[in-house]
Amino acid sequence: ERTRVGIIGAGPAGLLLSHLLHRAGVESVVLEARTRDHVEHRQRAGVVEHGVARILRAAGAGARMDRAGAVHHGIELRFDGRSHRVDFAGLCGRDVVLYAQTEIVKDLIAHRLADGGDVRFAAAATAIEGIEGERPRIRYGTAAGEQVLACDFVVACDGFHGIGRPSIPAERVRHFEKSYPFGWLGILADVPPSATELIYARHERGFALHSQRGPRVSRLYLQVGNDDHVGNWPDDRIWAELAARFALRDGGWELATGPITDKAVTPMRSFVCEPMRHGRLLLAGDAAHIVPPTGAKGLNLAMHDAALLAEALASWHATGDHTLVDGYSDTALRRVWRAEHFSSWMTGLLHRDPNGSAFDRRVQSAHLEFIASSRSASAQLAENYTGLPYV
């Protein structure tokens, strides 16, 4: 069996790539280890950059996002018991769309299936062969046994723990990595959001984030220890901790609580694999790079990679010209490193470092004060958060 582009992983990167390739007349097959129900309900990110929203609209996949998503023109920073709004519209003229990754995944799967696309669930890739030649193959397992898919290119969109990155000989890549001494506990709760905009809170007890999933559902995150687990966090403890971290000095704000429907701990890590290609194997999204979630960049980087690759592979398919495929890694990595900087910067700005000193915490407060009082300092945050316009 063969196809043009064999895509491993039906996350945002793999699905968007397959959709864009289809629109450019290039056939692909997506292999996904998990079930459709699993990938459509896996709770993850929620912020869509300005430019990524535009990519989805231009690809005819933005209609439900524009109906059900919410345009956000700013975020709130809370620190030392007070509140400061970062006004994206006024500072950089851009905005973001709050629309859950689960919904983007549902939309893209629906588009692929409506267009006759080939997305195979419960089909786990087990090996990638022949990437140094012109006829790479993916071996994958299904209920019916092992199958082989031959293709012109393999694109690994299989996340951080996939098989794509480790299929590149170790001496051909370089890994850059940073770990953090904390993680995030994320919850979904059936309660209307307590604020209209996102709140990023820095508190002596640790970071907290207030987000939302539409008018009736709240999405909240808490900084926890990096070896912490949900068993340590009964619902009452979560609500009490969130209320403490969001509290304002003069009161006047209350966190509404409700039934918690999802609870998970996410580790924090920064990671980049260079280059994002070896021979006929290309890496996209979390398979190639990870950012800590504080800057809301993981989903957006994955979608950008897919858009770059779709253009490159379509150009190669139409004319045999390899220029864009050859430039893919360098082009993608420029945006990746910008996001790596912003995400680790934003993480350091807002989290309590368990190994930090009282001096470090005073400097952190001074940094937040500066952002709250300087237009140029807050404009840097706004530009990065909404997504720099290049590429």
- Cite the active site residues: 72, 200, 293, 297, 385
By beta-carbon proximity to ligand FAD, the closer residue of 90 and 225 is 225
Distance of CA 112 to the CA centre of its chain: 21
Residues in Cβ contact with 37 at an 8 Å cutoff, skipping those fewer than 6 apart: none
Residue in 166, 175, 176, 173 with CA at minimum distance from that of residue 8: 166
Span from 113-121, 157-165, 194-202, 255-263 in contact with ligand FAD (CB under 6 A): 157-165
Residue in 293, 79, 294 with CA at minimum distance from that of residue 203: 79
Query: Residue 137's binding partner, choosing from ligand FAD, ligand DHB, none, with beta-carbon cut-off 5 to 8 A by kind?
Result: none
Decide: is 189 part of the binding site for ligand DHB (CB under 6 A): no
User: Per-residue x/- mask for ligand DHB, residues 206 to 225, rule CB under 6 A?
Assistant: ---x-x-------x------
Decide: is 136 part of the binding site for ligand FAD (CB under 6 A): no
The correct pick among 117, 183, 293, 387 for binding ligand FAD (CB under 6 A) is 293
Span from 75-83, 295-303, 329-337, 358-366 in contact with ligand FAD (CB under 6 A): 295-303
Query: Beta-carbon neighbour count of residue 217 at 10 Å?
Result: 18
Q: By rule CB under 6 A, what count of residues binds ligand DHB?
A: 10
Decide: is 124 part of the binding site for ligand FAD (CB under 6 A): yes
H-type alpha helices, 70-200: 88-92, 101-114
By beta-carbon proximity to ligand FAD, the closer residue of 173 and 372 is 173
| 15/22 Cα distance (integer angstroms) | 11
Decide: is 242 part of the binding site for ligand DHB (CB under 6 A): no
For the CB of residue 122, give the shortest distance to ligand DHB in the complex, in Å: 27
By beta-carbon proximity to ligand FAD, the closer residue of 278 and 297 is 297
Query: Residue 125's binding partner, choosing from ligand DHB, ligand FAD, none, with beta-carbon cut-off 5 to 8 A by kind?
Result: ligand FAD
Q: Is 270 left (phi over 0), alpha (psi -120 to 50) or beta?
A: beta
By beta-carbon proximity to ligand FAD, the closer residue of 8 and 381 is 8
Decide: is 298 part of the binding site for ligand FAD (CB under 6 A): yes
Buried/exposed code over 14-25 (b: 16+ C-beta within 10 A; e: otherwise):
bbbbbbbbbeee
Query: Beta-carbon neighbour count of residue 320 at 10 Å?
Result: 7
DSSP assignment string, 287-331: GTEE--GGGS-HHHHHHHHHHHHHHHHHHHHHH---HHHHHHHHH
| 153/280 Cα distance (integer angstroms) | 5
Decide: is 13 part of the binding site for ligand FAD (CB under 6 A): yes
Interface residue list for ligand DHB (CB under 6 A) = 45-47, 198, 209, 211, 219, 293-294, 296
Interface residue list for ligand FAD (CB under 6 A) = 8-14, 31-34, 39, 44-45, 101, 124-125, 157-159, 162-163, 266, 285-286, 293, 296-299, 302
